[in-house]
Structure 1
């Protein structure tokens, strides 16, 4: 993997410093800039070549959720990971705006690096709380029993995602290559009409596929 160009957004200088140190300790990351407001980030990222934005959820002015929505509208391929000190309150809004991941502050550096790498590849693990919240929301609406649109293995992939397994773990459990797993995800997303794992789980539950 080529170096990932990362932009940091947090209104606490010490937090930005800690994030920078964690990322710069790994040669796979290059920090291309940082900001303490969403407004500054939106302007800077538009002028920079950036692969991934690590976005604090609570910011002065425009918050991280709205900033993520705007970044995604500017560049759908840009990966954005929400960083939060809060629990479930912001999970659903973050994912609904297109965030590619949701990390809690205080995560161990090694785990943080792994989650950012997976988010950059479009395969972040799904937090168990997020799975529960999405299923609760899907359950509140009408459930639809769809026909067999996915293979047995693709059903297994969905179940493992809902259990919080990473791509590496799913590939290992199913004894398939990462390339095959990515192909399965593309098919799953296409069939379910979604763009990410979190909404795939919710839609699969609504269709009674899991």
Structure 2
């Protein structure tokens, strides 16, 4: 069984204690380090190369890496292999949507952390994104009109590619199944991501699973 190396970050000790206890009770995860600031988090990511980081969205007082969207963007750029679960008190739908579009694997409202963290860990252990219902209500994913508009811009071939991607197929597997070149499939996938306004595979998977555009 794969054990997921995890780093947690929050400037509130009580939150770190709760996260630590939850992770230590789950044999699918191992806690390798803890951070209380953005700079310390970046240092620990470079040192430990974890599989997962669970981080607070707001950790003020760090001028080097900042917090919020700036910190998340830095982690995505410099540690692209790391899965990110964000804890947040922010309810702004534009920020929540932006986090999902950037490619975080999950967002949890901090005032619901005790109810949601176990569900999030279970989803991530199974390579699935997780967005808490309380957070999803504020995101673009709760707006059927926006979802329909974005998906209506996709070509039939792009929809085929996304359907297979969400089902777990790689680009090379999709190319074989659809009898297309890898380059063609890759181009169609990138085009679809641009039309959906998502930047990473994590974001694409989250968007498609939550939007469920392939439901018959």
1:56-205 residue pairs with structure 2 within 5 A? 56-60=56-60, 61=62, 62-89=66-93, 90-107=95-112, 109=114, 111-119=116-124, 121-126=126-131, 127=133, 128-129=136-137, 130=139, 131-132=141-142, 136=146, 139=149, 144=153, 146-151=155-160, 154=163, 181-183=167-169, 191=189, 192-193=192-193, 195=201, 196-200=204-208
SS of alignment partner, residue 54 of structure 2: strand
Q: Does the 8 Å CA contact 2:130/2:206 hold for their aligned counterparts?
A: no
Judged with a 3 Å threshold, the aligned counterparts in structure 2 of structure 1 residues 116 and 28 are, in CA distance, closer, same or farther, namely same
Q: Does the 8 Å CA contact 1:83/1:105 hold for their aligned counterparts?
A: yes
The structural deviation recorded for 1:44 is 1.4
Q: Does the 8 Å CA contact 1:138/1:202 hold for their aligned counterparts?
A: no
In the alignment, structure 1 segments of 5+ residues that lack a partner are 159-180
- Counterparts of 1:17 and 1:108, CA distance in 2: 12
Q: Does the 8 Å CA contact 2:107/2:130 hold for their aligned counterparts?
A: no
Number of residue pairs aligned between Structure 1 and Structure 2: 183
Q: Which residue of 1 aligns with 2:177?
A: none
- Counterparts of 2:23 and 2:212, CA distance in 1: 35
Q: Does the 8 Å CA contact 2:8/2:34 hold for their aligned counterparts?
A: yes
CA RMSD of aligned residues (A): 3.8
